[in-house]
Amino acid sequence: MTNELHFFTIHALDGRAAQDELNGLLAQHRVLTTEKQWLAAGLESHWVVCVGTATSPGALRDAVVP
């Protein structure tokens, strides 16, 4: 199985378009990983999100439950 990374920047004050794009990706792909980081920069504050998705068919690893 291969994977692909997708990066999103979601601005705090005007992030609706990027949020909708991220939600569309999550709904249409097999998500393997997600990471997010808040960058505080006053009026330019935003989330940076990285999503790893499966790009080929194949068995997924068993879920890890903490």
Phi/psi of residue 56, nearest 5 degrees: -140, 155
Give per-residue pLDDT as tens, 32-61.
999 999 999 999 999 999 999 998 766 656
Sheet holding 3-11, edge to edge: 3-11, 46-54, 31-39
Q: What is the largest CA-CA distance in the chain?
A: 44
Quick one: which of 6, 17, 19 has its CA closest to 47? 19
pTM comes to: 0.78
Structure tokens at 13: 């004050």
Sequence letter at residue 20: D
